[in-house]
Amino acid sequence: MTAIKGSPPTSPQNVVKHSRLKPLELVRRICFIMLGAILVGFALETFLVNNSIIDGGITGISIMSSYLSGVPIGVFLFLLNLPFLLIGYKIIGKTFALSTLLGVFTLSVTTALLHSWQPFTDDTFLAAVFGGIMLGVGTGIVIRAGGSLDGTEIVAIILNRKTPFSVGQIVMFFNVFILGSAGFVYTLDRALFSMIAYYIAFKVIDLTIEGFDESKSVWIISDNYREVGNAIVDRLGRGVTYLNGEGGYTGDDKKVIFVVITRLEEAKLKSIVAELDPQAFLAVGNIHDVRGGRFKKKDIH
């Protein structure tokens, strides 16, 4: 393992042992990565490529390279991603690199098998919309399974450690440059359609990763904390936690109610708080992931 600059030296005391994935979990990860990659390949060959619409990252470079050279896209997808996978293997980790390798390989094979298929539509706008949706779903599935389909993400993770820019900002910079290049390789309108497809895919990736039923954390400060907490438990079926707080201005002791809910339950919770204590302080935030405890996503009754 290559030591990263600024990290403590490895020793028996600070080496973290990573547990192996259980066989069922490993099979599940492989299946989802392959499924996501197949969906992306399907979107590329049946919607985007034949309508001269590109994606961002290495995929976009591969599409333009294939158009200029006549070499199948799958060849460029695999060869251009390979150096970044080797870098990722050494710096980011074996599991992520191997998962990405599986995704890239599956994507390359899928595009090769579907290369002779006719596009589902010749309408460029429809191709951008539906191609972007399918692209976003497939990419989101791969990311949720712990993999990736593009080497620029690996570069962004590495540069993020040495620059003040976030991974998202670095990826966005690469993609603006690549999508803009479509205007020179194809035409300006194709570059604009490519940006539409990319934007749609970007939004759908978020929905696929987070889910429509995303979780939210809620912090409530109320003098009637016990009544509010009991109502949340009884009427929403959510467990609450009471935290001790102190008012910064008054110095008074305060009870803070903390609860995790789904997006669909937010309106009902706000109505409960407003009903029992209109003067209560309430803050709601999005949560990327929730695990453990007794929290389970469910429908509102």
Higher-confidence position of 226 and 174: 226
Give yes or no for residue 297 having a pLDDT over 80: no
Q: Could you tell me the pLDDT band of residue 7, with boundaries at 50, 70 and 90?
A: very low
What's the pLDDT score for residue 147? 83
Higher-confidence position of 39 and 26: 39
Give yes or no for residue 18 having a pLDDT over 70: no
Q: Tell me the average pLDDT across 168-172.
A: 76
What's the pLDDT score for residue 292? 63
Highest mean predicted confidence (pLDDT) among 8-22, 125-139, 167-181: 125-139
What's the pLDDT score for residue 11? 36
Contact partners, residue 264, CB within 8 Å, separation at least 6:
213, 299, 300
What's the pLDDT score for residue 211? 67
What's the pLDDT score for residue 253? 83
CA 243 distance to own-chain centroid? 32
Q: C-alpha distances in angstroms, 50 versus 123, 128, 129, 271, 274?
A: 11, 11, 14, 51, 55
What's the pLDDT score for residue 171? 79
Instruction: Dump pLDDT digits (tens) for 129-157.
Output: 999 999 999 998 998 888 888 888 778 77
Order the strands of the 281-287 sheet from edge to edge.
241-246, 253-262, 215-221, 281-287
Dihedral in degrees, nearest 10, Cα atoms 26, 28, 29, 31: 120
Higher-confidence position of 221 and 160: 221
What's the pLDDT score for residue 202? 85
What's the pLDDT score for residue 3? 37
Instruction: Give me the sign of the Cα torsion angle 18, 24, 27, 33.
Output: negative
What's the pLDDT score for residue 299? 42
Highest mean predicted confidence (pLDDT) among 13-22, 228-237, 263-272: 228-237
Instruction: Dump pLDDT digits (tens) for 85-130.
Output: 888 777 767 888 888 899 999 999 999 999 888 888 889 999 999 9
What's the pLDDT score for residue 151? 81
Statement: the pTM of the whole predicted model exceeds 0.75: no
Give me the chain's average pLDDT, please.
Answer: 82
Q: Tell me the average pLDDT across 52-81.
A: 91
Whats the size of the chain, residue-wise?
301
Higher-confidence position of 153 and 9: 153
Domains assigned to the chain: 23-210 (no CATH), 215-287 (3.30.70.120)
Contact partners, residue 257, CB within 8 Å, separation at least 6:
218, 219, 220, 221, 222, 225, 228, 229, 232, 240, 241, 242, 243
